[in-house]
Amino acid sequence: MIGKFVIPLKLKLFLPVMVIVITVVALITLWFVNRSIRSFNDQISSSLALEVQTIAKMFERENILKLEKVQTNLRVANIQFFAKPLVVYDDSITIEVENQRTNQRHEAVLPVWVHGGERLYGHHAFVDFMEEVIGGTITVFQKIDSGFVRVSTNIRKSDGSRAVGTYIPNVSPVAETVTQGEVYYGRAFVVDDWYTTAYEPVIIDNEVVGMLYVGDKEKDMDELQRILHRLRIGNSGYPFVFDNEGTLLIHPEREGEPLRERWLIDSIVSNKSGLLEFSENGHTRTVAYRYFEPFELYVAATVVNDLENRALVRNAVSGAIMIGSIAILLLLFFIYRFTSDRLYKYLDALAVSKAKLADAEQALKQSEKLAHMGQISAGIAHELNNPLGVITMYSGIVQDELPEDSPLHSDIDLIVEQANRCKHIVSGLLNFARRNKVVATKVNIVDFLEHSLNNVIIPKNIKSAVHSNLEDPEVMLDKEQMMQAFVNLEKNAVEAMPDGGELNIYIRGDEDTVTVTIADTGTGISKKDMDNLFTPFFTTKLAGKGTGLGLSLVYGVVKMHKGGIRAKSNADPAQGPTGTQFIITLPRTSS
């Protein structure tokens, strides 16, 4: 009964707990993994930005170096130029010149210069020599009306010829600076490209008559290219450089090609540095970029996040799964061990007490039935009492008056005996039925119990005594009913000690209650009988000996006095001395 009830409940209880624990741990694990990936992505972004910053610094340094180089070159060129005599003649030639900005051609008057014994115009010995010494570009300019015209240069036009005859117009930062006798440093568009440049005036008789130029191609990025090509970021990342048009200037694979992601340019151009994240073939790619003003280009770095994450994710997930599983197992174990176990025990106890309750209910129903029966039997007993009286009286007379040698003696003896037995049963039934009202009077409980022993036939081999430690022995109780109850208990005790023993009555109490314990050293009551003691008609005694009504009468009387009764007993000599104690607690006033 109990087993069937508990096992499915055990499962029913544990399964939801298991599901909850697994769900919670799994969610925490997922959250943890997610968080690590997120923080790792943040780390990727910030390290990419840092990478780009570093590359931009490299460009800057390159730029500064270029400028310094150009300054040095200019000094060298200057010394070399003036190391040879420069003679400026009064006569001049007319040449065709070309405005380098507008490409307009016209004629111009050019004074004749002789440098190192050679006419300078169209001769390039000096600039070619200088190119060998310092590298880069170098040009000698002469002043003409509309600007400064190249007379000797190593700069080539797109067709390969030297750029002699092209001039920088007066209205330009270079011409304006140099005309005032100052050196111009900076970026300049020379023929077809941007250069880091320096222009120095050539002054004769306090008059600017020409200028010397040295320059280094700005986007001469061989060195940077070499460095950046070698640079790798993480597992999947690399730096790259592209210009305003989106042409890749430095890239591990696609140099010279336009940037594939045209839209990148559009979103980049609006803000000059930043971070982009977009998905590409199902991967998340991060690009950090920064505009480098002096070279008019963008330096950028990129990684594919997922490829960077993969190892981390794998580690995080497998680690988390392991920790999660261990956590789940531990949690389940502890829950099972400390909660469920206790709960099951509790439920077990609950089931037991439920069963007991059911039994009690059963007993109650039975006793209700018995109450009815009591009433009926009381009626019957009353009706039977008179005819039985007649039977016992007349059978007694017949017994007495029968001749001594009559063969009917054994018959009449049987009739008398059985009639007495009937009387005994009927009086038992009457007692059982009568207890329904308490008429309480003040009683000295000690005297009362001592007196009760006089109503029981106690064999010589049984020692009986009453022990009391009461200061105030006064108790309110129904004398007649209580006497019956105690006598019944004492009779039971005596009947449980066929081989003799001790019958002790202990009386204890306080202001409110009195406890009477009737203890014998008899056979004891077996465990299985304990539950049935107070059930009417329960008896272990032979038919004719016990009615099984004694203890139910006692129970009824005690309850009517608003008291309590319980039994303690040991029937197993292996467990210690055998014997039974009935412990009755009575309020001093039962009303």
Query: Which stretches of the chain bind ligand ADP, using CB under 6 A?
Result: 488, 492-493, 496, 520, 522-523, 525, 529, 533, 538-541, 546-548, 550-551, 580
Q: Map 192-244 to HEC letters.
A: CEEEEEEEEEEEECCEEEEEEEEEEECCCCHHHHHHHHHCCECCCEEEEEEEC
Measured from the CB atom, the residue of 173 and 544 that comes closer to ligand ADP is: 544
Closest residue (Cβ) to ligand ADP? 550
Measured from the CB atom, the residue of 99 and 581 that comes closer to ligand ADP is: 581
Of 114-122, 187-195, 486-494, 569-577: span binding Mg ion (CB under 5 A): 486-494
139: partner contacted, choices Mg ion, ligand ADP, none (Cβ within 5-8 A by kind): none
Q: Which two tokens stand for residue 159?
A: 């067709």
Of 62-70, 119-127, 550-558, 583-591: span binding Mg ion (CB under 5 A): 550-558
Q: What is the C-alpha separation between 139 and 168, in angstroms, rounded?
A: 12
- Using CB under 5 A, pick the residue from 237, 550, 556, 563 that binds Mg ion: 550
- Name the minimum Å distance from CB 354 to ligand ADP: 26
- Name the minimum Å distance from CB 14 to ligand ADP: 44
Choose among 115, 113, 112: nearest CA to 77.
115
Q: CA of 431: how far to CAs of 189, 421, 490, in Å?
A: 135, 15, 17
Q: What is the C-alpha separation between 273 and 429, in angstroms, rounded?
A: 110
- Name the minimum Å distance from CB 489 to ligand ADP: 7
Strands (E), 351-478: 441-444, 462-468, 474-477
In one letter, which amino acid is 35? Answer: R
Residues 205-244 that bind Mg ion (CB under 5 A): none
43-49, Cβ contacts within 8 angstroms, sequence gap of 24 or more: 44/234, 44/286, 44/303, 44/305, 44/308, 45/275, 45/277, 45/286, 45/288, 47/233, 48/233, 48/237, 48/275, 48/286, 48/287, 48/288, 48/301, 48/302, 48/303, 49/275, 49/288
547: partner contacted, choices ligand ADP, Mg ion, none (Cβ within 5-8 A by kind): ligand ADP
525: partner contacted, choices ligand ADP, Mg ion, none (Cβ within 5-8 A by kind): ligand ADP
Of 21-29, 92-100, 364-372, 548-556: span binding Mg ion (CB under 5 A): 548-556
Q: What is the C-alpha separation between 303 and 48, in angstroms, rounded?
A: 8
- Name the minimum Å distance from CB 418 to ligand ADP: 18
Measured from the CB atom, the residue of 300 and 429 that comes closer to ligand ADP is: 429
452: partner contacted, choices Mg ion, ligand ADP, none (Cβ within 5-8 A by kind): none
Choose among 261, 336, 352: nearest CA to 298.
261
- Name the minimum Å distance from CB 588 to ligand ADP: 26
Of 125-133, 313-321, 484-492, 580-588: span binding Mg ion (CB under 5 A): 484-492
Q: What is the C-alpha separation between 462 and 449, in angstroms, rounded?
A: 17
- Name the minimum Å distance from CB 492 to ligand ADP: 3
- Name the minimum Å distance from CB 540 to ligand ADP: 3
Measured from the CB atom, the residue of 492 and 504 that comes closer to ligand ADP is: 492
In one letter, which amino acid is 243? Answer: D
Q: What is the C-alpha separation between 95 and 589, in angstroms, rounded?
A: 147
Measured from the CB atom, the residue of 513 and 535 that comes closer to ligand ADP is: 535
Q: What is the C-alpha separation between 376 and 380, in angstroms, rounded?
A: 6
Closest residue (Cβ) to Mg ion? 550
- Name the minimum Å distance from CB 536 to Mg ion: 12
Per rule CB under 5 A, is residue 492 in the interface with Mg ion? yes
Strands (E), 71-192: 86-99, 105-115, 118-119, 137-144, 147-153, 166-169, 184-190
- Name the minimum Å distance from CB 584 to ligand ADP: 13
> Which residues are at the interface with Mg ion (CB under 5 A)?
492, 550
